[in-house]
Amino acid sequence: MKKTSIITNVILGAAIIVLFILHFTSEPKASNIADMPEGDTSLSGGIVYVQIDSLINHYDMFNDLRSEFESKAQTIQNDLNKRGRTLENDVKDFQTKVQKGLITRSQAETQQQQLAMREQELQGYIRQKQGEMSEEEQVLYRKVFDALQTYINKMNEEKQYSLILSTSASTNTVLQGHKTLDITSTVVAAMNDEYIKQKTK
Protein backbone atom coordinates (compact mmCIF):
# COMPACT_ATOMS: atom_id res chain seq x y z
CA MET A 1 0.00 0.00 0.00
CA LYS A 2 2.85 2.35 0.89
CA LYS A 3 4.66 1.45 -2.35
CA THR A 4 1.53 2.24 -4.37
CA SER A 5 1.21 5.59 -2.61
CA ILE A 6 4.84 6.49 -3.43
CA ILE A 7 4.35 5.52 -7.09
CA THR A 8 1.14 7.56 -7.27
CA ASN A 9 2.88 10.60 -5.75
CA VAL A 10 5.76 10.29 -8.23
CA ILE A 11 3.32 10.12 -11.18
CA LEU A 12 1.32 13.07 -9.86
CA GLY A 13 4.51 15.06 -9.32
CA ALA A 14 5.64 14.32 -12.88
CA ALA A 15 2.22 15.39 -14.19
CA ILE A 16 2.48 18.73 -12.36
CA ILE A 17 5.98 19.31 -13.78
CA VAL A 18 4.68 18.57 -17.30
CA LEU A 19 1.86 21.06 -16.71
CA PHE A 20 4.30 23.81 -15.72
CA ILE A 21 6.57 23.07 -18.70
CA LEU A 22 3.64 23.13 -21.12
CA HIS A 23 2.25 26.27 -19.54
CA PHE A 24 5.46 28.29 -19.75
CA THR A 25 6.82 26.98 -23.06
CA SER A 26 3.68 26.77 -25.24
CA GLU A 27 2.65 29.74 -27.35
CA PRO A 28 -0.74 31.28 -26.56
CA LYS A 29 -3.52 30.11 -28.88
CA ALA A 30 -5.51 32.52 -30.96
CA SER A 31 -8.86 31.40 -29.54
CA ASN A 32 -9.89 32.71 -26.14
CA ILE A 33 -10.47 29.82 -23.71
CA ALA A 34 -12.62 32.03 -21.48
CA ASP A 35 -15.25 32.17 -24.25
CA MET A 36 -15.63 28.39 -24.38
CA PRO A 37 -18.61 26.76 -22.61
CA GLU A 38 -18.07 24.79 -19.43
CA GLY A 39 -17.11 21.16 -20.02
CA ASP A 40 -16.10 21.85 -23.64
CA THR A 41 -14.45 18.70 -25.00
CA SER A 42 -13.26 20.23 -28.26
CA LEU A 43 -9.80 20.83 -26.85
CA SER A 44 -8.31 17.84 -28.71
CA GLY A 45 -4.61 17.53 -28.04
CA GLY A 46 -4.91 19.56 -24.82
CA ILE A 47 -4.95 18.82 -21.12
CA VAL A 48 -8.16 18.04 -19.24
CA TYR A 49 -9.09 16.70 -15.83
CA VAL A 50 -11.82 14.67 -14.13
CA GLN A 51 -13.03 15.28 -10.58
CA ILE A 52 -13.20 11.74 -9.21
CA ASP A 53 -15.39 12.53 -6.17
CA SER A 54 -18.01 14.19 -8.34
CA LEU A 55 -17.86 11.46 -10.97
CA ILE A 56 -18.33 8.66 -8.43
CA ASN A 57 -21.24 10.37 -6.68
CA HIS A 58 -23.08 10.94 -9.97
CA TYR A 59 -22.25 7.62 -11.64
CA ASP A 60 -25.34 5.38 -11.68
CA MET A 61 -23.29 2.18 -11.56
CA PHE A 62 -21.57 3.29 -8.35
CA ASN A 63 -24.88 4.29 -6.76
CA ASP A 64 -26.46 0.92 -7.67
CA LEU A 65 -23.48 -1.04 -6.37
CA ARG A 66 -23.34 1.08 -3.21
CA SER A 67 -27.06 0.47 -2.54
CA GLU A 68 -26.52 -3.29 -2.88
CA PHE A 69 -23.45 -3.10 -0.64
CA GLU A 70 -25.24 -1.06 2.05
CA SER A 71 -28.22 -3.44 1.97
CA LYS A 72 -25.95 -6.44 2.43
CA ALA A 73 -23.98 -4.66 5.17
CA GLN A 74 -27.24 -3.87 7.01
CA THR A 75 -28.37 -7.53 6.77
CA ILE A 76 -25.03 -8.68 8.21
CA GLN A 77 -25.20 -6.05 10.97
CA ASN A 78 -28.71 -7.21 11.91
CA ASP A 79 -27.49 -10.82 12.03
CA LEU A 80 -24.51 -9.86 14.23
CA ASN A 81 -26.78 -7.86 16.56
CA LYS A 82 -29.14 -10.82 16.85
CA ARG A 83 -26.31 -13.24 17.63
CA GLY A 84 -24.85 -10.78 20.14
CA ARG A 85 -28.19 -10.33 21.94
CA THR A 86 -28.74 -14.10 22.09
CA LEU A 87 -25.32 -14.63 23.66
CA GLU A 88 -25.85 -11.72 26.06
CA ASN A 89 -29.22 -13.14 27.19
CA ASP A 90 -27.68 -16.59 27.70
CA VAL A 91 -24.87 -15.06 29.80
CA LYS A 92 -27.41 -13.17 31.96
CA ASP A 93 -29.48 -16.36 32.36
CA PHE A 94 -26.35 -18.26 33.39
CA GLN A 95 -25.37 -15.58 35.93
CA THR A 96 -28.88 -15.61 37.41
CA LYS A 97 -28.80 -19.40 37.81
CA VAL A 98 -25.38 -19.24 39.48
CA GLN A 99 -26.46 -16.45 41.87
CA LYS A 100 -29.61 -18.34 42.84
CA GLY A 101 -27.75 -21.64 43.18
CA LEU A 102 -29.94 -23.35 40.60
CA ILE A 103 -27.05 -25.31 39.04
CA THR A 104 -24.18 -27.30 40.47
CA ARG A 105 -20.58 -26.08 40.42
CA SER A 106 -19.73 -28.68 37.76
CA GLN A 107 -22.64 -27.53 35.58
CA ALA A 108 -21.61 -23.90 36.09
CA GLU A 109 -18.03 -24.62 34.96
CA THR A 110 -19.26 -26.49 31.88
CA GLN A 111 -21.72 -23.76 30.92
CA GLN A 112 -19.13 -21.04 31.52
CA GLN A 113 -16.69 -22.81 29.17
CA GLN A 114 -19.43 -23.18 26.56
CA LEU A 115 -20.33 -19.49 26.80
CA ALA A 116 -16.66 -18.46 26.52
CA MET A 117 -16.31 -20.66 23.43
CA ARG A 118 -19.45 -19.15 21.88
CA GLU A 119 -18.10 -15.65 22.53
CA GLN A 120 -14.82 -16.53 20.78
CA GLU A 121 -16.74 -18.01 17.84
CA LEU A 122 -18.87 -14.86 17.60
CA GLN A 123 -15.76 -12.64 17.63
CA GLY A 124 -14.25 -14.78 14.86
CA TYR A 125 -17.48 -14.57 12.86
CA ILE A 126 -17.53 -10.77 13.25
CA ARG A 127 -13.92 -10.51 11.99
CA GLN A 128 -14.75 -12.80 9.06
CA LYS A 129 -17.75 -10.69 8.02
CA GLN A 130 -15.80 -7.44 8.42
CA GLY A 131 -13.09 -8.85 6.15
CA GLU A 132 -15.65 -9.96 3.57
CA MET A 133 -17.34 -6.57 3.50
CA SER A 134 -14.03 -4.73 3.28
CA GLU A 135 -13.08 -6.88 0.29
CA GLU A 136 -16.47 -6.32 -1.35
CA GLU A 137 -16.09 -2.56 -0.91
CA GLN A 138 -12.68 -2.68 -2.60
CA VAL A 139 -14.15 -4.71 -5.49
CA LEU A 140 -16.95 -2.13 -5.79
CA TYR A 141 -14.45 0.72 -6.25
CA ARG A 142 -12.29 -1.36 -8.60
CA LYS A 143 -15.34 -1.98 -10.83
CA VAL A 144 -16.09 1.74 -10.96
CA PHE A 145 -12.49 2.72 -11.72
CA ASP A 146 -12.20 -0.03 -14.33
CA ALA A 147 -15.33 1.33 -16.05
CA LEU A 148 -13.84 4.84 -15.89
CA GLN A 149 -10.49 3.71 -17.32
CA THR A 150 -12.23 1.77 -20.11
CA TYR A 151 -14.34 4.79 -21.04
CA ILE A 152 -11.39 7.22 -20.86
CA ASN A 153 -9.35 4.98 -23.18
CA LYS A 154 -12.24 4.79 -25.64
CA MET A 155 -12.95 8.54 -25.46
CA ASN A 156 -9.32 9.48 -25.94
CA GLU A 157 -9.05 7.48 -29.16
CA GLU A 158 -11.25 10.21 -30.63
CA LYS A 159 -10.24 13.26 -28.56
CA GLN A 160 -6.48 12.60 -28.46
CA TYR A 161 -5.84 14.60 -25.29
CA SER A 162 -2.18 14.98 -24.40
CA LEU A 163 -2.89 14.54 -20.72
CA ILE A 164 -5.95 13.53 -18.67
CA LEU A 165 -5.58 14.24 -14.96
CA SER A 166 -7.73 13.15 -12.05
CA THR A 167 -8.37 15.18 -8.93
CA SER A 168 -10.28 14.58 -5.72
CA ALA A 169 -10.67 15.98 -2.23
CA SER A 170 -7.92 13.69 -0.89
CA THR A 171 -5.47 14.03 -3.82
CA ASN A 172 -5.83 17.49 -5.25
CA THR A 173 -3.63 17.14 -8.33
CA VAL A 174 -5.19 20.12 -10.10
CA LEU A 175 -4.39 23.12 -7.93
CA GLN A 176 -6.18 25.44 -10.32
CA GLY A 177 -7.76 24.81 -13.69
CA HIS A 178 -10.08 26.60 -16.06
CA LYS A 179 -13.62 25.21 -16.00
CA THR A 180 -13.42 24.34 -19.71
CA LEU A 181 -10.73 21.78 -18.88
CA ASP A 182 -13.05 19.98 -16.44
CA ILE A 183 -14.69 17.18 -18.45
CA THR A 184 -16.28 15.47 -15.43
CA SER A 185 -19.91 16.17 -16.37
CA THR A 186 -19.34 15.01 -19.95
CA VAL A 187 -17.64 11.80 -18.80
CA VAL A 188 -20.34 11.06 -16.19
CA ALA A 189 -23.16 11.59 -18.70
CA ALA A 190 -21.51 9.32 -21.27
CA MET A 191 -20.69 6.61 -18.70
CA ASN A 192 -24.26 6.71 -17.36
CA ASP A 193 -25.60 6.29 -20.91
CA GLU A 194 -23.36 3.27 -21.44
CA TYR A 195 -24.31 1.79 -18.07
CA ILE A 196 -28.04 2.16 -18.80
CA LYS A 197 -27.56 0.41 -22.17
CA GLN A 198 -25.72 -2.46 -20.46
CA LYS A 199 -28.45 -2.80 -17.80
CA THR A 200 -31.22 -3.00 -20.38
CA LYS A 201 -29.48 -5.78 -22.35
- Tens digit of pLDDT for each residue in 22-57? 443 344 343 343 444 444 545 445 889 999 999 999
Can you give the pLDDT at residue 63?
96
pLDDT value, residue 101: 94
Q: Which helix (H) or strand (E) holds 163?
A: strand 163-167
pLDDT tens-place string over residues 146-200? 999 999 999 999 888 999 988 888 877 776 777 888 999 999 999 999 999 988 8
* Residue (of 38, 19, 6, 81) closest to 179 by Cα position: 38
Q: How many distinct structural domains can be found in the chain?
A: 1
User: 175 φ, ψ to 5°?
Assistant: -70, -35
**For the residues 108-134, what does the mean pLDDT come to?**
96
Confidence at residue 27, expressed as pLDDT on a 0 to 100 scale: 42
**pLDDT higher than 70, residue 62:** yes
Helix, strand and coil percent figures for the chain, each rounded to 5: 75, 5, 20
Helix (H) or strand (E) holding 201: none
Please give the residue range of the domain that contains residue 95.
2-200
pLDDT at residue 138, as a whole number = 96
d(CA 100, CA 95): 9
